[in-house]
Amino acid sequence: MSTPHEQTQGGPSHITPDPLPATWRISPEFEMQAALIPDGNRFEYQSPAKLISTIKTTVDSGSAEEYFLYFHGINHGQLAELEREYRWCELRCTARFTTENSLSGLICKILSGGSLNNLGINFWRHILFKIWKTPGHTCDSIDSFYGTRFNVSDVRSKEGYQVIWPVTRGARPAWPSVVLEVGYSEALDFLHLDAKWWLINSTGNTRFVTIVQLMTSPFAIHIECWAMVTSDDRQKIKGPPQTPACVQVFDIDAEGTVASEFPGIRIPYSCIFDEPNENAPDALLTNAQLSSFALSMFNHVL
């Protein structure tokens, strides 16, 4: 069973791995993301101060706008102490943690460039405006947060870039219903694994994940929407009836031309809200609106 997410407070400073039940399966999405991180970005966890220092040193090197670091030897209880110190760090708004207790591992994703953050925030606002305009709903119908950590029964955790949930789930629900993840051109494999992580580990509570990828030379935006779909592999005897898959794709070039077989990003009403309403329209961000948004970003923000 999932437990409510934390915004992390307090915890021990020494490394004492907790015993883990044999039934806890290691997340393949975490393992695959960890395998993508080069040896030079892999570290043994020593203390919150040392981890923060490592992150700062990496960012100050100025070699890239996006980094993935792997830290081994940290357990769930230590995350609270790490968060308590890290929230005072100027890098807090640009870093997201994913943890896997069975591996005593933590992946830190750092978005040090301002362009991607500007793109993500403005794109998310467009999505929120569309949802707020749903008949029978207002801005008070959903809550939206960034950098909030969600847990799977202390087995693993993840911080989303931007998330929303219907207020009917309460002020601190176990999971968001819709998630946005962002990355630069080199991060598409990581973003795919992010989408799968949310859809699989939330056990149906997160129903729609949008990933936005920014290219800068020249400017271009790649957008994918992910959801759980019925598996078409009829040869399987065992396995989940549904699997995470990309269900919508959009490519926007520097001229604002949108290439897609879809008329726009469509977020089904049933993915946003828990209470069914067959007559309620889906949230739709049309291709014309995507084009206008992209050109505005390219010309004035990025």
State residue 8's pLDDT score: 33
* 9 confidence band (pLDDT: 50, 70, 90): very low
Percent of the chain with pLDDT over 90: 54
Residues 163-189, mean pLDDT to the nearest whole number:
89
CATH number for the domain including 239? 3.90.1570
Q: Are residues 150 and 258 in the same domain?
A: yes
Q: Are residues 231 and 141 in the same domain?
A: yes
User: Please, what is the average pLDDT of the chain?
Assistant: 84
Q: Are residues 159 and 295 in the same domain?
A: yes
Q: Are residues 20 and 81 in the same domain?
A: yes
Count of domains observed in the chain: 2
Q: Are residues 127 and 276 in the same domain?
A: yes
Give the global pTM: 0.85
State residue 230's pLDDT score: 86
Q: Are residues 123 and 216 in the same domain?
A: yes
Instruction: Give residue 102's domain range.
Output: 3-111
Q: Which two tokens stand for residue 39?
A: 């040896």
Q: Which two tokens stand for residue 3?
A: 């437990």
Residue of 297, 266, 280 whose CA lies nearest to 178: 266
Residues 106-123, mean pLDDT to the nearest whole number:
85
Domain boundary among 81, 111, 141: 111
Q: Are residues 16 and 125 in the same domain?
A: no
